């Protein structure tokens, strides 16, 4: 897939304000509870995005715990850094998960919320995580389950097919492309991880209004980059169609089912 996956320009704002509460906050709470149970003294977050999970980390860890948050996209890490200036105990860095700029054995836990799907070489990224983890450290991440299990996002792809029956944009498929637990387990084992636990976790996402959800799905993802390059004049019509469909399915203030895989792996 050669879809543009850059979270740049105005995308971080729309991603955080429109999609954040609906798609990412429910799993940020779930992931923070998992991290709290692990009780690490040091943690590295990969692909932190706009900081939906990051903001919980200082609250759930002991005072003085080391927290590092990273993202590959400069616009996303800048947004997170400025939005969460009050998080004095968090160090923000721009970093590539496949070539982490950190010493071996630096942290007890590495976490990533909905970032692994975008790694071009997942085994390389897992090897880097393994290297940076201390002995018996934990890699914890979540990825979306299949597209059909996340109907609000599946609706976007359906509408893309309506507007572009040929050469349909594939970004939604990319987001929901890493859900096979056997593949995930194999990739982690290739990197050296053991004691791999994979669980399917349902949640419910809420949006204050259908219009905000539609705006976020288009203007808050790299799908916007693709549409801007290909058919910018169609973007308002696509957003209106998506808002109308969401209103018909869920009502003006709607709740939508979400489903993800939460993966926990231990360094030998």
pLDDT tens readout for residues 9-66 = 889 999 999 999 999 999 999 999 999 999 999 999 999 999 999 999 999 999 889 9
Q: What are phi and psi of 205, to 5 degrees?
A: -105, 145
Query: Looking only at Cα atoms, what is the longest distance across the chain?
Result: 54
Output the pLDDT for position 157: 96
pLDDT at 2: 41
Confidence check: pLDDT of 5 > 70: no
At residue 75's C-alpha, the angle toward residues 191 and 117, to 5°, is 30
Asked if residue 18 lies in contact with residue 249, where contact means CB atoms within 8 angstroms, the answer is: no
How confident is the model over 186-217, as pLDDT tens digits? 999 999 999 999 999 999 999 989 999 999 99
- 62-71 pLDDT, tens digit per residue, is 988 999 999 9
**The two structure tokens encoding residue 137:** 């450290």
Count CB neighbours of 253 within 10 A: 13
Instruction: Look at the pTM and tell me if it is higher than 0.85.
Output: yes
Q: With contact defined as beta carbons under 8 Å apart, do 145 and 224 qualify?
A: no
Interacting residues of 182 by C-beta distance below 8 A, sequence separation 6+: none
Q: Provide the H-helix boundaries in the chain.
A: 11-14, 25-38, 57-60, 74-83, 122-132, 151-163, 171-175, 181-190, 210-219, 223-230, 235-250
Q: Are 129 and 46 in contact (CB under 8 A)?
A: yes
State the virtual CA torsion across 163, 164, 170, 171 in degrees, nearest 10: -40
Q: Which domains does the chain have, with CATH numbers?
A: 11-267 (3.40.50.150)
Residue of 250 and 263 predicted with greater confidence? 263
- φ/ψ of residue 103, rounded to 5: -70, 160
8-state DSSP, 93: E
Query: Rounded distance, CA 24 to CA 44, Å?
Result: 19
Query: What whole-number distance in Å separates Cα of residue 246 and Cα of residue 211?
Result: 8
User: 109 pLDDT exceeds 50?
Assistant: yes
Residue 228 near residue 96 (C-beta atoms within 8 A): no
CB burial class (10 A; 0-12, 13-18, 19+) of residue 123? middle
With H, G, I as helix, E, B as strand and everything else as coil, classify residue 205: strand
Residue 165 near residue 229, CB atoms below 8 Å: no
Please give the C-alpha separations between residue 131 and each of 19, 119, 266, in angstroms, as whole numbers. Answer: 33, 17, 12
Between CA 108 and CA 126 the distance in angstroms is 15
Torsion from C-alpha of 47, 53, 59, 63, nearest 10 degrees = -10
């Amino acid at each position: 897939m050669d879809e543009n996956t850059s979270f740049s320009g105005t995308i971080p704002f729309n991603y955080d304000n429109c999609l954040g509460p609906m798609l990412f906050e429910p799993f940020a709470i779930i992931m923070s509870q998992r991290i709290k149970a692990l009780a690490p003294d040091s943690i590295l977050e990969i692909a932190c995005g706009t900081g939906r999970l990051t903001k919980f980390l200082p609250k759930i860890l002991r005072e003085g715990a080391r927290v590092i948050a990273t993202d590959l996209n400069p616009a996303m890490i800048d947004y997170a850094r400025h939005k969460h200036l009050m998080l004095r105990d968090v160090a923000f860095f721009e970093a590539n998960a496949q070539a982490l700029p950190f010493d071996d054995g630096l942290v007890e836990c590495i976490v990533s919320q909905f970032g692994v799907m975008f790694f071009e070489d997942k085994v390389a990224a897992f090897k880097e995580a393994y290297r940076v983890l201390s002995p018996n450290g934990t890699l914890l991440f979540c990825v979306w389950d299949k597209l059909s299990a996340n109907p609000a996002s599946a609706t976007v792809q359906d509408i893309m097919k309506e507007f572009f029956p040929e050469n349909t944009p594939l970004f939604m498929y990319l987001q929901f492309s890493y859900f096979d637990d056997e593949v995930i387990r194999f990739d982690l084992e290739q990197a050296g991880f053991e004691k791999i636990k994979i669980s399917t976790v349902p949640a419910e996402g809420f949006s204050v209004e259908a219009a905000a959800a539609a705006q976020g799905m288009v203007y808050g993802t790299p799908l916007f980059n693709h549409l801007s390059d290909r058919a910018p004049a169609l973007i308002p019509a696509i957003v209106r169609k998506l808002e109308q469909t969401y209103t018909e399915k869920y009502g003006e203030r709607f709740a939508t089912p979400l489903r993800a895989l939460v993966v926990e792996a231990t360094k030998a």
